Structure 1
């Protein structure tokens, strides 16, 4: 719970009273490697704070081909955000790539704090703004940058992941094949 407090306090100052009410909403949860935090078609109800581990966010097309959209590396918040906001079924699956430890809370319970805990609401708004900026930046990278540049950005954003997750997940995230990723890695190693 200490990591959650440190993370949230970096977003915005939170009064001791608000923190006590906010922290009381969370309970510990573990996910084994391969387990889902949220699956396709579920309506999201919970938000999680990833204390330890790595999750991937991905979608699966009609032909069952998977496309990695994002990696969550602790410490960070996870959850089917669009589903939480709209109440519609989730489309972006979140799966543990390693064993994970989280703190989980009902999103509705957190929202109920907003009228009396404006500092918590402010933190949630700042977090949503950060997610929006990340999403827009990622969209720009996919469209405007070549695979070499996207790989360089991946290494900068997720320096520890390359040794911890399968290469095919990285290739999917970059929008290339594993063979193309191998070529890019060989080319960069030769520089």
Structure 2
């Protein structure tokens, strides 16, 4: 079970978190196996945990009033996944997070995270850096949707998520870059990278 903590442990030690604080973290979190197609968080649910993806892949998506799904992000291995705003504000999630593959996460209770940040400056710094990465990713995504062509958005997707185009269906990529599956197929036929 400890092998699922290894990549997170490397990140934590780079942040100079002492072994005692790391051990407290491991004792108060748990490894959770998530089957493909399972929702980790659903729209409308309260969010009390953050997750670190040790294995597998998740997609974050909104469901529109007409039932269409709109992918806003993906979280592969060595990435965090949660509805951060909902967790911090104590609000229900406005989007759903689904396992796209059989996955393994480290489930981190928000109250444990808050306690660690309150008692350790290094944990506070580590979490701040993680949140900064999420915020930068969100800003980049907004800029891409506003300023880039469909082809440029596809190229940005390939750079941001190397190899993901081989792991997920094209219609998920199309949803993420804001085009129809037919338009993406046409784009790929005319310029296969």
TM (norm. structure 2) is 0.94
Aligned-pair CA distance for 1:51? 0.4
Which of the numbers 149, 154, 166 marks the counterpart of 2:152?
Answer: 149
Aligned-pair CA distance for 1:70? 0.1
Give matches, 1:43-54, under 5 Å. Answer: 43-54=46-57
Aligned-pair CA distance for 1:159? 2.1
Match of 1:6 in 2: 10
Aligned-pair CA distance for 1:120? 0.8
Q: Distance in 1 between matches of 2:60 and 2:77?
A: 14
The unaligned stretches of length 5 or more in structure 2 are none
The unaligned stretches of length 5 or more in structure 1 are none
- Kindly provide the CA deviation profile for residues 71-124 of structure 1, in whole angstroms up to 9, marking residues without a partner as x: 101111111111111111101210001100111121111101222211111101
Aligned residues: 189
Task: Name the Cα RMSD after superposition.
Answer: 1.2
SS in 2 for 1:51: strand
SS in 2 for 1:114: helix
1:25–1:110 CA contact under 8 A, matched in 2: no
Which 4+ stretches in 1 moved above 6 angstroms?
none
Match of 2:89 in 1: 86
Give matches, 1:1-191, under 5 Å. Answer: 1-10=5-14, 12-189=15-192
* Range 21-30 or range 43-52, more displaced: 21-30
Q: Distance in 1 between matches of 2:127 and 2:11?
A: 12
